[in-house]
Amino acid sequence: MLALQIMVDGFAISTLYALGAIGFSLIFGVSGVLNLSHGGIMVAAAVAAWFIAGPLGAGQYLGALGGVGIGVVVALVTYGVVVRPIQRSRAIPHDETEIFVLTGTLLWGIMIQEAIAYFFSDSPITVRPLISGVVDIAGVRTPANEILTAVICWISIVLLWLLVNRTAVGKRLLAASINPRGLTLLGFELSSVYLMVWVIYGVLAAIAGVLLATFLGTSSNNIGVLTASAFSIVVLGGLGSVSGSLIAAYIIGYLETATAYLLTPTLRTIPSLLLLVLVVYVRPQGLLGRR
Amino acid sequence: MNKNASPNTPQRRLRRGWRRGMITAASAAALGISAIPGAYAADPIRIGVIAENSAISGVAITNGAMMAADEINAAGGINGRKVEIIDYDDHNSATDAVRAFQRAATQDHVAAVVGSYMSEVALALEPWAARLRVPFITPGAASNEITRHVKEDYARNKYTFHGYLTSTAIADANCDFSHDVLVEKLGMKTTVLLSEDAAWTKPLDEESRKCLPKAGLQILDAMRVSPDTTDFTPIFNKIEGERPDVITTGISHVGVQPTVQWHSEQVPVPMSGISSQATTTTFWRDTNGATEGVIAQVVAAPDVAITPKTVPYAAAYFKRFGVSPAYTGYTADDDVHIIAEAVGRAGSDDADKIVAEMEKTDYVGTVGRIEFYGQDSEFPHAIKTGKDFVSGLMIQWQDGKQVTVWPEKIANGTLHFPPFIKLPQQHASAQ
C-alpha cells in the first residue's frame, strides 16, 4: 500500500521535474548556456496562468494556454535581452562569456522574482487544476489532475523526441550541439537555430511551470529552488544529455518521495542533495554526461 | 528622543515604490494645502511602520496604519498635531527590520514603531526598542516570548507592547471553539495537531496539548512541518491513517499548499484552527476555492460588528485597497490610534511618558476593547483577552465567503463541509 502510494506520487512529481529539466539541459547542449533564470520563467508562466484563469476570469484552459504563451515570451526576452547581447558583446572576453551569461541570467532571474513579488505579492498562489476529482488507483486516492499532468508531460517529452530525431529542424539542433562551426559552414544560420531552441525551451519550461503550480502551488519565492532543482537534475544526469536528465529526474523524484514517506517530509530534499555531492565526487560528468 | 524642530517636509514622505509614492504624494499635497498659514503649527506625530510589503499580512499593517492616520488627521489630529506614517519594507528579514528600526529612531525621529507580523522579526526588534528607547508594538506576531521578555526585565523591555493575541491566548480561544462546536455539536473526539515549525507555534502547541483534551478532543499525534514544505501528500496520508475526527492547524507562513492539497486529494478530515492566510479574503482566489470548508480563527471579520467600529472600518478599507483587511489590518489601525492617543495624553514625545500612557490604554478598537495586561500579570503588555476584551472568532469558508460560526452570539451561519468530508455523525453536517 505504502509502496504503491510512493509509486503513484513519485511518478507525477518526477515527470514534472523531468519536463522542467529537459529544456534546461537542451539549451545547454545546443548553445552552451546555463540559464539561471529558469525558475523565473517557470513561475512567470504559472503566475500568468493563474492571473488569466482567476482574476481575469478566462477559465483554466485559456489560463494554462496563456501562461505557456507568457512563458515563451519571457524565455525569448531572456534570450534577446540578456543572453544574446552578452554573447555578442565585444567588450567581454570570449572565454569569459559563459561566466557573464551565468551572472546575467542569475540577475535576470532575481529581477523576474522581484517584479512578480511587486505586482502580484509573494504570497503563494495555486493555478486552477485542468480537471477536478479524484481517481482511485488500487486504493490510492489520486487527484485526476495529477494523472493528467503526468500524461501531458509525457506527450511533451515524446513530441520533443520526435522533433529532435525525426525532423529537419531537430537535426539542425543536434548538429548545432555537436559542431556549431560545421553547421555554419553548411550555410545554416546559427542564430535561427538558437532562436528555435529558446522557443522549444520556453514551451517546455512554461508547461512544467504551469502544471507544477496546479499541483504544488507557486510563489515568486520558489524561483531559486526551481532553478536549483533543475540544475541538480541536469548535473546528475550529465550536462547537456536530455536522456540523462530524464533518468535523473526520476531518481531524484522518487528519492524525495520515498524520503518524505519513509523518513519525514522535512528531510525531503536532503538525500538527493547528498546523492548529488556523491556524483560530483565519483562521476563528475554525471550519469550520461559526455564532457 | 527629541524631535528636530524643522517643519514638516512632505518630501521625506516620498518613499520607494511608486504606487505607495502616489498615495503619499497625494496626501502630502493635501497636507501642504492645509499647512498654509499656521493651521497646524506643531510637528506631526511620526509613527514608524515596519512590515513586509509584498506579503498580504505585511502590507495590511502599512495599509491599516495609513487608514488610522488619515482618520485621525481628518478629525483634526491629536492636540492639533497631525499623525504621519513613515513606512519601511523589511522584506520579512530581521536584519532589514532592525536597520529600519534604527533609522526610524535616529534619523526619522519617530515617536513609536508599529511592526511586523512575524514573531522572529518582532523578537529581533524588541531589544532595539529597549536600547533606543522607542515604544514598539507588534500588530501581528504571536509568540509568548515577546511578553516574557517584558516580564523578565520590565525596566528594560517596557517599551515593547504586544498588540495581538499571544500564542497561548490563540490556542485557548481555539480550544473554546473546539469544545463548543466540534465536540458538543459534531460529536468529535480526536484530533491531530498540524503546525508549522516556527517560533509562534511552540507555545501554541504547548497550550493546545493542555487545553484540547480538556475541551474533549484527544490528541492522537502532533506534526510539525517545515514552512518550506511543498508536498503535503505524505503528511495528509499519515494523518488520515490515524483516523482523527479533525485536523487542528497552526499554519501561517507555509502558504497555500496544505489547503490546496487537502482539497485536491479530498482528505476526508476537516481542517480547523489557526490558518493565518485563510483569514484574508484573497485566500479564496489564491487557492481557487480549495479553502471551501476550512475553519480559521480571526480577530475580526468584515461583516461582524464586534464593536461599532469594525464594519465601517472594514468597508472603508475595502473601498480604498480593493481587499478586506488581513488580521493585521485591523490591529495595526487600532495600534496607531492607541499610540496617537497615548502621545496626546502624554503631551510629549518622551518615550517613558508614552509607555506610561499606553499602559493606561482603554480603547475600543476594531477587534474589541483593548487594554494591556499589567506588569504583574503573566503576559505584561499583551492585550487583554476574554469576553469583554478581545476574544477572536472562528470563520468558515463557504461558497467564497467567510461565514462567522463562533461565538454563537455573533455567528451568522453554521458549519457546512464539502462533500468529501466525513464527519463522526454524518447528519451533523446538515444542521
CB within 8 Å: B197 and A121: no
CB within 8 Å: A124 and B257: yes
Handedness of CA B134, B135, B137, B143 (dihedral sign): positive
Residue A42 cell numbers, joined:
517557470
Residues of A in contact with B235 (CB under 8 A): 265
Q: Name the CATH superfamily for B168-298+399-430.
A: Response regulator (3.40.50.2300)
The alpha carbon of residue B59 is apart from the nearest alpha carbon of chain A, in Å, by: 9
Which residues share a beta bridge with A211?
none
Residue in chain B lying closest to A214 (CA):
B260
CB within 8 Å: A143 and B265: yes
Closest CA to A225 of A36, A22, A10: A36
Closest CA to B283 of B306, B309, B302, B255: B255
CB within 8 Å: A121 and B233: no
Q: Indicate whether B255 pLDDT > 80.
A: no
Q: Indicate whether B417 pLDDT > 60.
A: yes
Residue in chain A lying closest to B289 (CA):
A128
For B52-83, b where at least 16 C-beta lie within 10 A, e where not — what string? bbbbbbbbbbbbbbbbbbbbbbeeebbeebbb
| Interface predicted TM-score (ipTM) of this complex, two decimals | 0.74
Confidence of residue B2 (pLDDT cuts 50, 70, 90): very low
User: Which residue shows C-alpha cell 506579503?
Assistant: B55
Long-range contacts at B373-378 (CB < 8 A, ≥ 24 apart): B373/B147, B375/B154, B378/B151
pLDDT per residue of chain A (291 residues) written in tens, 0 to 9: 788 888 888 898 899 999 988 989 888 888 888 999 999 999 999 999 999 988 888 888 999 999 999 999 999 999 999 999 998 888 888 888 889 999 999 999 999 999 998 888 777 888 888 888 888 887 788 888 889 999 999 999 999 989 888 888 888 888 888 888 888 888 888 888 889 899 999 999 999 999 988 888 888 888 888 888 888 899 898 887 888 899 999 999 999 889 988 888 778 878 888 988 998 898 888 888 765
Residue A241 cell numbers, joined:
544529455
d(CA B156, CA B160): 9
**Cβ atoms of residues B60 and B329 within 8 Å:** yes
d(CA A134, CA A125): 21
CB within 8 Å: A5 and B59: no
As annotated, the residues of chain B forming the CATH 3.40.50.2300 domain(s) are 10-165+306-370, 168-298+399-430
The alpha carbon of residue B17 is apart from the nearest alpha carbon of chain A, in Å, by: 9
Q: In chain A, what are the domain boundaries?
A: 20-222
CB within 8 Å: B237 and A134: no
Tell whether A145 is within 8 A of chain B (Cβ).
yes
CB within 8 Å: A265 and B232: yes
pLDDT tens per residue across span A14-60: 999 999 889 898 888 888 889 999 999 999 999 999 999 888 888 88
Which CATH fold topology does B10-165+306-370 show? Answer: Rossmann fold (3.40.50)
A:B CB pairs within 8 Å: 87
Residue in chain A lying closest to B256 (CA):
A124
Helix (H) or strand (E) holding A143: strand A140-143
Burial class for A129, CB neighbours closer than 10 Å (0-12, 13-18, 19+): buried
Closest CA to B24 of B10, B38, B35: B10
CB within 8 Å: B225 and A124: no
Q: How far apart are the first and last CA of chain B?
A: 59
Mutate to test the interface with B, among A51, A123, A269 (most CBs of B within 10 A): A123
Tell whether B54 is within 8 A of chain A (Cβ).
yes
Residue B215's identity, in one-letter code, is: A
